[in-house]
Amino acid sequence: MSEKNKEILTVGICGLGTVGGGTLSLLEQNAALITVRAGCPIRVAHVATRTPKPHLCGQVAQTSLDPLAITADPEVDVVVETMGGFDVAFEVIKRSISNGKHVVTANKALIAERGNELFALASANEVTLAFESAVGGGIPIIKALREGLAANDIEWLAGIINGTGNFILSEMSAKQSGFSEVLQQAQELGYAEADPTFDVEGIDAAHKLTIMSAIAFGIPLQFERTYTEGISGISPADISFAEELGYRIKHLGIARKTARGVEMRVHPTLVSNSRLLANVNGVGNAVMVQGNFVGSTLYSGPGAGAEATASAVVADLIDLARDRMAGVTNPVRPALGTTQADSSLDVLPIEQIEVGYYLKIPVLDKLGVMAKLSAVLQERGISIEAIIQKESENSETLPVVILTRVVREYELNAALDELAGLDEVTGPVTRIRIEPFDGEA
Ligand code: HSE
């Protein structure tokens, strides 16, 4: 081992894109304050990037093209993985851990899908794998769940956890802008994933929900069992019908512990416009967490972008510096808040959840249609809470919008199959879940 100065935390950064670049800038700009808070300076000694950025790397001793070079650099105590992606990022994290280095990553996909394996490896090597920046951008939601609420039985959590999706829905609602135009803006602002279908189809949110659920309920990471539905099917008409009925459409990740199992689901959701969550707009993220002692809590802030995400990466680095200055050699915080994940809590299939529904049904504009639709729903015990039926001036079809009361999803599915078979129903029915929320926010 080299004769390193133990009073400096030395960092290598793999990937100098939005998050890596933001991290380097923050470490430089707030260096004095960070040194005081951390108890020692945090110095970036090595950066790996395919696109050299001399304006950012002036103080950095070494730059490499190959991120694996950092994993073997004896000068480096902590590897910051901000490349994203799967295979190379996995190899970087695995090799860094095996070489006894702590790792800080913003890679939610990797944590959600391969975290069980990586945390076991980190634990065996007595190093920390930290990931605050993987969920909620700048919001310290991992700390809130794992440390701040550690004494509570978490009953449920619900959040807007994809900045790009929230930006798109907010802009569509406020400016009646088209979907593709808004998506392009989100990409230009550095919010969107390299493959924006991850944002739009809910995969990115499902990664984050998987991570929060594991911490909240003490269960293993189970991305493959998280139900995922995107926002690409939401039309401006749905947004304005929902608003007419007193709701906003938000793309939510929801996790709930029920007597029948754990729900983990990401989908567009009608939220009453009197709720705080309905009023979180733009790239903002917000997560409500209901604990059995604390009650309902809400965490909100910027969920994506260079500065916000860098704030969370550097917070993890400061934690590591503090541990080191205190002489802690093993990680003090179990990565997911518990040393023994509970595999006995089953994940509830989506057909078993119980919520209300928004239905938009295209029907022929003729007498008796409403009675037929109501009969199909009533036969299955589905109560109607509200109906909107618009006059049609120049079309033979018109949309009927119905809000149902809470019903089990498989009953609703059966009713939708029946509705689809009616001659009066002229096209596919749009179905959006309505979250009633049993907390205060
Ligand atoms: N693409 C992500 C989002 C980035 O829009 O929320 C932050 O994880």
Give residue-wise pLDDT tens across range 257-294. 999 999 999 999 999 999 999 999 999 999 999 999 99
Is 163 a pocket residue for ligand 1 (Cβ < 6 Å)? yes
- The pLDDT value given to residue 64: 87
Is 137 a pocket residue for ligand 1 (Cβ < 6 Å)? yes
Q: How far apart are CA 196 and CA 94, in angstroms?
A: 27
**Domain residue ranges of the chain, discontinuous segments joined by +:** 9-137+306-326, 141-302, 354-434
Is 204 a pocket residue for ligand 1 (Cβ < 6 Å)? yes
For ligand 1, the distance from its centroid to the CA atom of residue 304, given in whole angstroms, is 5
Q: How far apart are CA 86 and CA 326, in angstroms?
A: 34
For ligand 1, the distance from its centroid to the CA atom of residue 309, given in whole angstroms, is 9
Query: What is the three-class DSSP state of 14?
Result: strand
What CATH architecture applies to the domain 354-434?
Answer: 2-Layer Sandwich (3.30)
Name the residue of 82, 164, 167, 266 whose CB sits within 8 Å of the most ligand 1 atoms, as the mutation to test its pocket.
Answer: 164
Is 166 a pocket residue for ligand 1 (Cβ < 6 Å)? no
Q: How far apart are CA 394 and CA 270, in angstroms?
A: 30
Pick the catalytic residue from 6, 53, 143, 208. 208
Is 131 a pocket residue for ligand 1 (Cβ < 6 Å)? no
Fold held by 141-302: Dihydrodipicolinate Reductase; domain 2 (3.30.360)
DSSP of 205-259: HHHHHHHHHHHHHT----GGGSEE--STT--HHHHHHHHHTTEEEEEEEEEEEET
For ligand 1, the distance from its centroid to the CA atom of residue 222, given in whole angstroms, is 20
Is 192 a pocket residue for ligand 1 (Cβ < 6 Å)? yes
Q: Which residues contact 374 (CB under 8 A, 6 or more apart)?
A: 384
- First vs last Cα of the chain: how many Å apart? 53
Atom of ligand 1 minimally distant from the CA of 161: 6
Helices marked H in 39-107: 68-71, 87-98
Q: How far apart are CA 134 and CA 321, in angstroms?
A: 20
Q: Which residues contact 219 (CB under 8 A, 6 or more apart)?
A: 213, 262, 341, 342, 343, 345
Nearest CA to ligand 1 atom 8: 304
- The pLDDT value given to residue 1: 42
Name the residue of 204, 250, 266 whose CB sits within 8 Å of the most ligand 1 atoms, as the mutation to test its pocket.
Answer: 204
Count the neighbouring beta carbons within 10 Å of the beta carbon of residue 293: 8
Atom of ligand 1 minimally distant from the CA of 106: 8
Angle at the Cα of 303 from the Cα atoms of 216 and 218, rounded to 5 degrees: 10
What global pTM score does this model have? Answer: 0.95
Q: Is 208 a catalytic residue?
A: yes
Residues of the chain where predicted confidence (pLDDT) is lower than 70: 1-3, 392-394, 438-441
Fold held by 9-137+306-326: Rossmann fold (3.40.50)
Q: How far apart are CA 49 and CA 335, in angstroms?
A: 28
Is 228 a pocket residue for ligand 1 (Cβ < 6 Å)? no
For ligand 1, the distance from its centroid to the CA atom of residue 306, given in whole angstroms, is 10
Is 303 a pocket residue for ligand 1 (Cβ < 6 Å)? yes
Residue with tokens 């929801």: 254
Is 164 a pocket residue for ligand 1 (Cβ < 6 Å)? yes
Here the tokens at position 49 are 């990037």
Atom of ligand 1 minimally distant from the CA of 205: 6
